[in-house]
Structures are given as C-alpha cells and as structure tokens.
Amino acid sequence: MGRFGGTQTRGLENLDKSIDLFQAALEIDPDYALAYSGMAATYTRFATSGLLPRSEVMDKAKAAAKRALEIDNMLGEAHAELAWARVYQDFDWKGGEKGFQRALELNPNYADAHHNYAWLLTMIGKFDEAIAENKRAFELDPLSYAIRTSYAHKFIYNCDYERAIDEIQNVLDT
C-alpha cells in the first residue's frame, strides 16, 4: 500500500499516508530496505508533482535511497531511486544513467526505473531510447497513469505528434 500510495496516486494526503506506512514498516523492521526505497520514491514524488519544493524533500529522498543501499546494495529499486534523485536534484546525467543501468541490471522488471530512465534519456536527447524505455515501463505497469501519459510525452519530444495524440487518446479511452 505504501508503494502504491507513493508512486501511483496523487495528492499530499496520499503521499503523507504512504510515508506513514513506510515508517510503520520500519518500526517493525528497521532493516527493511524496500521500505527505505519506497520512502525515497515517495519523497521524490512530492517534488515532481509540485506538492513540496525540491529543497524540502530531495535530500530526504537521497538519504532514504542511500540507507536502503547500505542495507542491501543489490536492491535495484534503491539504485533507481538514488539515480532519479541525482538526476532530479543534481542534474547529474551521467551518474543518473549509470545508476539506472545498474538498477535495471539488478531488477529489469522495475517499471518505475524504466519510466524515470526514459525521462533522463529524453532530457539528454536520446528520444528513441526514451520511447523504448517508457514502452517497457508501460508493458510492466499498464495501469499507471504517470507511465501512460509520459509515454505520450516522449512522442511529443520526438516531434511525432500524431503518435502522441494517439497515445493520449488511448489514455482517455481507458
């Protein structure tokens, strides 16, 4: 529930609830790396959705991702969350790309890693690769509104407006 609330829903209340759920899990098991990774994703969501300023939450996101990696350095989710924090806060394209590649090596089925990696690839002008990554994220999580709409965005950035319109229409139709 914490991960769903932190990555798939909208609104300050839902994200706050997600953080509360992850903290409750950590009270039960302080070494639960996935809970730290989920917290990192949720803190980032506060910033990317515009609900809280980057300056308020991105250091928390990084700290949570780093704590998850201290517990389990083989956790792809944590590598992905740290990579996204590096991209979103530090504009560290190379470090972010390396982090996403490691995350996907460890967990190739983590849809959010593909999704956020697609955004990085878009930012650095690798549009065809971004579309492929976003498509993979969509295949892994076809119900995610964020992934589905960002898939359409990739076609806009690639100047394929007809395909972008088709993809947005697909989102509206479902």
What is the number of alpha carbons within 13 Å of residue 122 lying toward its C-beta?
22
Domains of the chain are 1-91 (1.25.40.10), 109-174 (1.25.40.10)
Statement: residue 169 has pLDDT above 80: yes
Report d(CA 26, CA 106) in Å as an integer: 23
Phi/psi region, residue 125 (left: phi>0; alpha: psi -120 to 50; beta: rest), is: left
Q: Encoding tokens for residue 89? A: 């806060």
- Which residue type sits at 146? A
Residue 167 host element (H or E): helix 161-173
**pLDDT range class, residue 10, cuts 50, 70, 90:** low
Q: Encoding tokens for residue 52? A: 């809280």
- Residues 6 or more apart in contact with residue 13 via CB below 8 angstroms: none
User: pLDDT value at position 66?
Assistant: 98
* pLDDT > 90 fraction of the chain, expressed in percent and rounded: 80
**pLDDT range class, residue 53, cuts 50, 70, 90:** confident
Report d(CA 141, CA 134) in Å as an integer: 10
Report d(CA 8, CA 68) in Å as an integer: 21
Give the Å distances, CA to CA, from 28 to 35, 149, 154. 11, 36, 41
Statement: residue 22 has pLDDT above 90: yes
Statement: residue 2 has pLDDT above 90: no
Statement: residue 171 has pLDDT above 80: yes
For 69-99, the pLDDT digits (tens) are: 999 999 999 999 999 999 999 999 999 999 9
SS (HEC) of 82-145: HHHHHHHHHCCHHHHHHHHHHHHHHCCCCHHHHHHHHHHHHHCCCHHHHHHHHHHHHHHCCCCH
Q: What is the secondary structure of 15-55 as a DSSP string?
A: HHHHHHHHHHHHHH-TT-HHHHHHHHHHHHHHHHTTSS-HH
